Amino acid sequence: MRLLVRLLLLSTAALSLSACFDDATPVDQAGLCTYNTDPQAQRCNAGQMAWFRPENGQPITEQMALSVAAAYCDFNHQVMHNKAGVLCVFTDQRLDTVK
């Protein structure tokens, strides 16, 4: 019985560590694409860090943050947002939904 419990614990630990070694596409950390309109966002490159920063430093609403993330963020990577904007890895996979 103890051997079975040890094997179960060992396999659980191995599975949880496997998440640390994902094959995610590397993020281009050399630059930051900053935008506040849809045409500006379309100049960003897929895989690049992108920051939606509203005009005149006005705070964004939660609905706006979700809309920006839904249109432009790669959800295979972390998405950060607060009243200052949305920061994420840019994707061009949903650009058709913006038009």
pLDDT tens digits for range 41-79 = 999 999 999 999 998 878 899 999 999 999 999 999 999
- Alpha-carbon dihedral sign for residues 42, 43, 47, 52: negative
In this prediction, residue 29 carries a pLDDT of 77
Q: Is 49 helix (H, G, I), strand (E, B) or coil?
A: strand
In this prediction, residue 57 carries a pLDDT of 77
- Alpha-carbon dihedral sign for residues 57, 58, 59, 60: negative
Q: How many CB atoms lie within 10 A of CB 38?
A: 13
In this prediction, residue 10 carries a pLDDT of 52
Q: What is the Cα–Cα distance from 17 to 6, expressed in whole angstroms?
A: 17
Q: What is the Cα–Cα distance from 38 to 18, expressed in whole angstroms?
A: 37
